[in-house]
Amino acid sequence: MRSGYRAPRRWLQMALGTALLASAAMALAQPAARVEPAAAAQRAAAPRTAAPRTAAPSTAAPRTVLVLGDSLSAAYGLREDQGWVAMLGERVTAGHPGWQVVNASISGETSAGGSARVVDEVLRHRPAVVVIALGANDALRGLPLPELRRNLARMIGASRHVGARVLLVGMRMPPNLGADYTRGFEQTYRDLAAFFDVELLPFLLEPIAADRGNFMDDNLHPTARAQPAIARHVWPALEPLLR
């Protein structure tokens, strides 16, 4: 399996190397102020009064959890604050001051779409943690599993390249595409998590999947009532990455 990841690694080196080097901070040296001898003598003779100390305001930017998902993470058909990602964000902010959650999920997103935009997203937000929750739309379209694997590998690699920890969130699909595809689809997430040594949540919808009443009329998207259960399900996998 390892030979299949050479191409993603070369892609990461080319795509990210230049951008990261270009974004490095460069300090411009300012010329030192010239002090005339007479003025210097006067300053040396003058009594020195210690300036009162004041606490410096905190300028530390919040650490970011970046969520890259599809409609299941984008609160499809709901208000944004009704989605599990927003609920998770509230819990992160309350329990871990200095952290924030940014939801960059897009309804209809595929692993190819996530792979195409992951570099821009991680360079824009500089996340400390990236949650990758993609693949459901790929399975619905019958995407060949090697393509899914390559796309997710690029996303994991790009996230790791900027120093972020990764939570990979898997999916399970009904066997309408055949048992081999269904098993291979689930195994793809396990293989990637093991290869890259990242955290894995095997099935995003596990706590709600068995109850048809948890889904909208399309039988695909969770209702508002089901969102808190998803947030509670994701939390134990995410919380250790915030420490």
User: Residues with catalytic annotation?
Assistant: 71, 218, 221
Residue type, 178: G
User: Residue 106, CB half-sphere, CA atoms under 13 Å: how many?
Assistant: 12
The SS3 call for residue 69 is strand
SS3 217: coil
**What separation in angstroms does the CA of 57 have from each of 11, 54, 60, 93, 132?**
41, 9, 9, 20, 34
Cα–Cα dist 67/121, whole Å? 10
